[in-house]
Amino acid sequence: MEGITLKHNIIDQFQQIPTTCISDAMQGMNNLDPRVKPLTEEYRIAGRALTVQMPVGDNMAVLRAIREAKPGDILVVDAKGDEYRAIAGDFVVGMAQSLGIKGIIVDGTIRDILGIKKLHFPVFSRGTTAVASGKAGGGEINIPISCGGAPVHPGDIVVGDADGVVVVSQALEQEVLRNALAKLDKDNMRAAQYSGNPEKIIQYLDEIIGTAQ
């Protein structure tokens, strides 16, 4: 029971941290291709990945993942960067939402964008298209994948916001959380100290530029 509580807790904590700080905590590693962006800039999600590997133009594995998902899961879909055929539209996304899935992240595209926006359900993709996928039945779920150039294992924590999507492997999640919170504190302190203070800014720049030489 305790383990379960802790796992929920860590998701809640990651939910509050900008992807920039999480990325800094991982030295810029494990970011998805930055063309994978939220449909609406306000979306922020954090949760555990249910991975989907699908052949280009065949979205049956997405349907299988929606069927298998637990509430709170985030579907992370490797559609190989395909921008021609959508992996889902508002009907499929609506089913995912109704079954308690927290978000969909895809290195590929979606369609029915206006309908999906009305759902207020976070979808991250490379963009939108009019073309549907077929349902040939290929693909796999819950296996290690590469999505947008980042390795994703089932159960990894994924965090997405307006800046992009980062993946935190389970083995490193406590350490990354600690370092990301420290970076967030530093960013906040710096902003408070320097914003609107030209003298401090000049002093800061002189120090930095001096050290770099």
Ligand X SMILES: O=C([O-])CC(=O)C(=O)O
Q: Give the interface segment with ligand X, choosing from 32-40, 47-55, 85-93, 97-105 (CB under 6 A).
A: 85-93
State the nearest-atom distance from the C-beta of 50 to ligand X, in Å.
Answer: 18
Contacting residue, 24, 78, 82, 90, with ligand X by CB under 6 A: 90
Strand partners, 130: none
Tell me the C-alpha distance between 44 and 96, whole Å. Answer: 17
* Orientation of helix 198-212 relative to helix 173-194, angle to 10°: 130
Strand partners, 166: 31, 159
Q: Give the DSSP H/E element, type plus range, for residue 165.
A: strand 164-168
**What does 88 interact with, of ligand X, Mg ion, none (CB < 5 to 8 A by kind)?**
ligand X
Q: Is 92 in the site for ligand X (CB under 6 A)?
A: yes
Tell me the C-alpha distance between 28 and 8, whole Å. Answer: 25
State the nearest-atom distance from the C-beta of 42 to ligand X, in Å.
Answer: 23
91 labelled ligand-binding: yes
Tell me the C-alpha distance between 16 and 54, whole Å. Answer: 31
For ligand X, the closer CB: 111 or 126: 111
Which residues sit at the interface with Mg ion, rule CB under 5 A? 89, 91, 112
What residue numbers does the annotated binding site cover? Answer: 89-92, 111-112
